[in-house]
Structure 1
């Protein structure tokens, strides 16, 4: 299976997503901020996909994705956020997000979307 980075500042969401992805057989690295996510990506070059919250302390999820894309990263990114307005979706996709899922979310749908993104290797 894949190595996945989960980035969320809500410890309950971070734990839920981590547990769901691990139960699906994936290896998971967790980070509570965009800065910690960048550190994790540098330390784990085998990460294939990131599940990123939009609203993070300091660097937002959108800022993180823009920075990764500016560096040439092709890491697949699923934005997981409570922000569901059209402008948020447009901003996310414009930054380079591959998929967008709003909270509250179905853990089953999350697993299916992750698998679909991983299938695009």
Structure 2
């Protein structure tokens, strides 16, 4: 079902796989040395996940309460020399008596000394 793109509305200027980000990214970022990831925060209740390639490194059932400032501790060791970080958040919103899911996702290319190269 997730592969059937006709079932989903994607916001204007967004990409189905990575939201408002796009891979391959023109600007890869260095793997954070401090083991953290900071998002802009969570304004809606709902689950979130962070993946490094095929390895899930963060998950929460209600990320608004579990990560109130959008800060996550991440073990980047599975990244090796380079990987793709994927961040997902399913925010639930109640509008006019109806519950609705909003899907947020971003993709970031990470690498050691990423400023010196691009994938």
Normalising to structure 1: TM-score of the pair?
0.25
Greater relative CO, 1 or 2 (CA 8 Å, sep 6+): 2
Larger Rg: 2
Q: Choose between structure 1 and 2: higher strand proportion.
A: 2
Normalising to structure 2: TM-score of the pair?
0.25
